[in-house]
């Protein structure tokens, strides 16, 4: 049995262009007995932690709180995407929590006999310094006009919204250079599943 960085099962890091369709690719991996860890979900979990809420309120005041005392993520987004220093402050606060929860979930997946491999779906995997957590990195891409259309439907974003969020991440070419493979998600889900199956076979992960 081959031993990988964190146990007997490989860990795939899933990154890509915003709106590229990483979540759809993650579902394709899940169909092949992959355990998907969604860093975005863990980020939402982080923002529910009392100590993190308290830290962020100290930074930005009670304007970031909803009437029920939870954080207003839209207000936080407005703050951090307008000022890189504020974004860095947010990342410094939440990344350690997300990183620890990720490691816990990887350990649990390694111990689960139903799991063939692990997928870490993390848009900011490289920015957060989590590259050492994974054995391979896959970049999911799609034509820009298709990504803009997807984001308009999914989140009501404009092209300016997309540009602001892209500016907060590493350039696409830098991420592609770090990736072990690139999948272009511009067709139907059957074709996408075929690409995932082929990649797993090439990597001998399934």
The domain locations on the chain are 11-203
Overall pTM surpassing 0.75 (yes/no) = yes
* pLDDT range class, residue 187, cuts 50, 70, 90: confident
pLDDT exceeds 70 at position 43: yes
**Confidence band for 6, pLDDT divided at 50, 70 and 90:** confident
Average pLDDT over residues 21-43: 96
Quick check: 1 pLDDT over 70? no
CA dihedral (62, 66, 68, 70) positive or negative: negative
pLDDT at 53 over 60: yes
Q: Rounded distance, CA 28 to CA 196, Å?
A: 7
Q: Residue 115: which residues within 8 A CB-CB, separation 6 or more? A: 9, 33, 34, 35, 109
Q: Which CATH superfamily is domain 11-203 in?
A: P-loop containing nucleotide triphosphate hydrolases (3.40.50.300)
């Amino acid at each position: 049995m081959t031993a990988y960085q964190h146990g007997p099962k490989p860990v795939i890091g899933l990154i890509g262009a915003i709106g590229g369709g990483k979540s759809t690719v993650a579902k394709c991996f899940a169909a092949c007995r992959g355990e998907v860890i969604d860093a975005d979900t863990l980020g939402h979990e982080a923002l529910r932690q009392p100590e993190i809420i308290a830290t962020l309120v100290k930074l930005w005041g009670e304007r970031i709180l909803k009437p029920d005392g939870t954080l207003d993520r839209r207000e936080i987004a407005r703050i951090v995407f307008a000022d890189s220093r504020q974004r860095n402050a947010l990342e410094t606060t939440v990344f350690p929590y997300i990183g620890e929860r990720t490691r816990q979930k990887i350990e649990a997946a390694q111990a689960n006999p139903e799991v063939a491999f692990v997928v870490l779906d993390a848009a900011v995997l490289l920015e957060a310094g989590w590259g050492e957590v994974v054995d391979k990195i896959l970049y999911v891409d799609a034509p820009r006009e298709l990504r803009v259309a997807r984001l308009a439907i999914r989140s009501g974003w404009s092209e300016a919204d997309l540009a602001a969020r892209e500016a907060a991440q590493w350039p696409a070419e830098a991420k592609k250079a770090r990736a072990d493979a690139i999948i272009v998600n511009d067709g139907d889900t059957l074709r996408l599943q075929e690409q995932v199956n082929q990649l797993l076979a090439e990597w001998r992960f399934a």
